[in-house]
Amino acid sequence: MYESRCGVCCNSCERKEAVHCTGCLTMEKPFWGGECQVKSCCQERGLNHCGECEEFPCEVLSSMGADQGFDPTIKIEQCRKWAEEEK
């Protein structure tokens, strides 16, 4: 079962409780109050997560968090795994 739109494994996130995040699947807006391009894109396309998209992996997902020092390939691989599990 997928936990996010972008491939973050929310159930194992160390910051989840500290920022009162219930995950993008259940929250209208991200915990930081802005807009998540990935969440919006998936919802507009009717996708559960990025791995279901024909354009996967797109530039938005591939660069998400990189400017903050996060490795986007971890999320990309998770989305691939979820997509394979759905087959």
pLDDT digits (tens, 9 = 90+) for 49-71: 999 999 999 999 999 989 999 99
How far is the C-alpha of 42 from the C-alpha of 8, rounded, in Å?
Answer: 14
Classify residue 1: in a domain, yes or no: no
Sign of the CA dihedral running 82, 6, 4, 53 = negative
SS3 state of residue 59: helix
The parent domain of residue 47 ranges over: 15-86
Classify residue 3: in a domain, yes or no: no
Classify residue 10: in a domain, yes or no: no
Classify residue 2: in a domain, yes or no: no
The C-alpha angle 12, 32, 52, rounded to 5 degrees, equals: 60
% of the chain with per-residue pLDDT over 90: 62
Q: Which helix (H) or strand (E) holds 81?
A: helix 72-86
Extract the residue ranges of the chain whose pLDDT is less than 50: none
Classify residue 4: in a domain, yes or no: no
Classify residue 8: in a domain, yes or no: no
Q: How many domains does the chain have?
A: 1
Q: What is the CA radius of gyration of the chain?
A: 12
Classify residue 80: in a domain, yes or no: yes
Classify residue 6: in a domain, yes or no: no
